[in-house]
A and B are shown apart, each in its own frame.
Chain A
Amino acid sequence: MSKLSELSAIVEYGKLREVEAAVEGALAEGNAPIDVLNIGLVDPINVLGEKFRLGEIFVPELLIASRCMKIGVEKVRPLLSSGDVKSLGKVICATVAGDMHDIGKNLVALLLGSAGFEVIDIGMDVEPESVVEALQENTDAQIIGLSALLTTTMYAMKDTIEALEEAGLRDRVKIMVGGAPVNQKFADQIGADGYATNATSAVDLAKKLVGISTSRS
């Protein structure tokens, strides 16, 4: 087996402690850094992402493999030119003000990350002004993802969107919303650009919002 295939297998099987050495091995074998990145690190994640979507693997298998990929990317990054590490887009994720239930947002953020998005996770109980600030700091962000679990806190999504409007930033980003009490009607009412029922659909939605076609109808 080539060192590149070995690396790919190590990422796929989530062997966190073996990734760095495997990246070194693949580079020492003479593989171009860009191939180490794409074939050794990113491809196995794409394979697992599809398997997860089909219900063939569990989410920790995908997420631990993603951790492997990140370790590997950090190792190989100094050898790459600036345009080599491609991202599908930058997403800011937040659980809105008053809400401390962030596992759903975490899951969306993790799956977006493993799908190839760059994710800026600004945490839970995030005030509208903080979302505005995050966007000001990340001017290249294309999407803001907002989450809420409670009927009492989901209106903070509306406040957040209004704060973005007041700051004159609303048109610069797409806004996607989700969470147990949220539905399409509510999303439309508050002027969000999209709603997803679960984390897997959220990834599809994010791809759609940045103009990438997905395999699923």
Chain B
Amino acid sequence: MDRSQYNNVQKCGSPLLFLTQEEMEQIHSSTLQILQEVGSDIQHKPAREMLEKAGCSVKGKRVFIPGGLVEWATRQAPSHIHVYDRDGDPAMDLGGRNAYYGTGSDCPTILDVNTGEHRSFTYKDMEDGAKIIDALPQLDFLMCCGLLYDFPSTSYEHQYAIMLRNSTKPQVVTAASRESISNITKMAIAVRGSLDELAKKPLFIMYNEPTSPLNHTFEAVDKLIYCAENQLPTNYSPCMMTGATGPITNAGGLVQANAECLAGLVIHQLARPGSPIVFGGAMYNMDLKCMQPTYCSPESIVNNIALAQIGRDLYHVPTWGFTGCSGGKVFDAQAMNESAQYIFAVGFAGVNLNHDVGFMNYGLTFSYEMLVASNETISQMRRVFDGVVLDRDHLALDIIKSVGPKGHYLSEEHTLKYNAEMWLPDLTDRGDLEQWQRAGGTTFEQRVKARTIDIIENYTPKPLTPEQDAEISEILKQADSAAEKK
């Protein structure tokens, strides 16, 4: 297992900021212009009525939100969301510059760790994914990794049950509809005891998204309202493909994405002022030759971080990020290069809730090997974020004086004491050539593969109580039979 003690979520040193205060205001002002002049399509009648009552002008499904209402809404949302694990212990403080990492959800295919083929997820693969995340110390939350095809109407419910049964870590959940998220909520209540307790100690964050450009589906809006009504945290993250569903420039993508986020925020805060919401989203360009979303292009990294900066520094809300993903098709150097860049960037920038570790092939394929390897990258980066500790003993003047010129520090107690603070490699090889050869001369990929298989075969997560487990089975049974009746 990872021996690193580093779990530093708090950024130190100078922050990575792409925008000045004036530039954030400029994007904000342009966003207000779009929301008021161009408007947003809201495919949810009660939401439109609520918006109209609050002062928006409505023509058909198009809603024009005045700037004052937007700014009212940004002032209502809380700046921090505290998320708790399955045992009820504090797990994440979303807000400020705290950076957390987790997986992504709903990949159609998995990169088989044994055969290397791209194939559909099995039920066991889904369980393995949750187990692996539970076993990896640097992963703070889980999303369900893959898509489950066995339950056409209730796949999200089954995916949630798998996560709940195989990991104590908090989750970010996807759901088809209000019914689907309410079934998931029931399962979380089976763990927490009551809805009141779940709202007090959130176990999951609902994943939700508008449809670029400037369109808000019935299901998305309905889920936003459900979360607000029940005081359950949600995000509302555009997944814009700039050049296709948004303007290709960074600034243009930011304005449109900000407009989409803020329209959701207004609906959410009108439904119940003060409800917890995570702000931000992706603006990744479509590669205009191969027509694929680039996901982890340099431009998308800048956009993701810049929108999060606006969320944190202008609107004072927790932020949503993308990370640890790749366009690569296999677990190779490209996969790790792209994953590591994004892991460093969002962590250094202090984006709060960073998901998609393990995504390959633009989110179509999930790789457990990349997940296991990225755990080590996150661990290394968290040591980097730690920066420099400056106290008397760390300044080491006494030991420098005592060792003096031409001496050495190998036998000093000071060395041993602070060696305990050094980052320790786990899968990374640091031996010399002879040591490496003697240890088998393995590649990083081979060691990662062996570790991944080891976790799958040998790791046992903490189980739910038999009562909780039975209650979840009952909720699934009811959801399945309700789906059959339709």
Contact = CB atoms under 8 A, between A and B. Distances in A.
Interface string B11-46: 000000000000000000000000000000000000
A201 B406 CA distance: 25
Interface string B415-459: 110010000000000001111000000000000000000000000
Contacts of A110: 410-411
B53 interface: no
A103 interface: yes
B408 interface: yes
Interface string B176-190: 000000000000000
Nearest to A16: B413
B416 A106 contact: no
A67 B434 contact: no
Interface stretch (A22-30, A55-63, A167-175): A55-63
Secondary structure type dominating chain A contacts: helix
Given A66-B411, A106-B410, A60 B419 contact: yes
Contact of B411 (A63, A124, A197): A63
A127 interface: no
Interface in A119-138: 123-124
Nearest to A198: B432
Nearest to A123: B406
A67 to B, nearest CB: 6
Nearest to B413: A64
A106 B432 CA distance: 18
A125 B435 CA distance: 29
Contact of B412 (A58, A60, A106): A60
Contact of B410 (A16, A59, A123, A198): A59
A106 B408 contact: yes
Interface residues of A, number: 20
Contacts of B408: 102-103, 106
A102 B408 CA distance: 9
A14 B416 contact: yes
A107 interface: yes
B247 to A, nearest CB: 54
Given A14-B416, A58-B416, A63 B410 contact: yes
Interface residues of B, number: 13
A63 B413 CA distance: 10
Given A106-B408, A107-B410, A110-B410, A60 B415 contact: yes
A29 B5 CA distance: 42
A64 B416 contact: yes
Interface string B394-422: 00000000000010101111011001000
A147 B411 CA distance: 20
Most chain-A CB neighbours within 10 Å: which of B411, B412, B413? B411
Interface string A96-109: 00000011001100
Interface string A170-214: 000000000000000000000000000110010000000000000
A35 to B, nearest CB: 26
Contacts of A201: 434
Contact of A198 (B411, B413, B416, B435): B435
Given A66-B411, A106-B408, 12 more contacts: A14-B416, A16-B413, A59-B410, A60-B411, A60-B415, A61-B416, A106-B410, A110-B411, A197-B432, A197-B433, A198-B435, A201-B434
Interface of B: 406, 408, 410-413, 415-416, 419, 432-435
Interface of A: 14, 16, 58-61, 63-64, 66-67, 102-103, 106-107, 110, 123-124, 197-198, 201
29 contacts: A14-B416, A58-B416, A58-B419, A59-B410, A60-B411, A60-B412, A60-B415, A60-B416, A60-B419, A61-B416, A63-B410, A63-B411, A64-B411, A64-B412, A64-B413, A64-B416, A103-B410, A106-B408, A106-B410, A107-B410, A110-B410, A110-B411, A197-B432, A197-B433, A197-B434, A198-B432, A198-B434, A198-B435, A201-B434
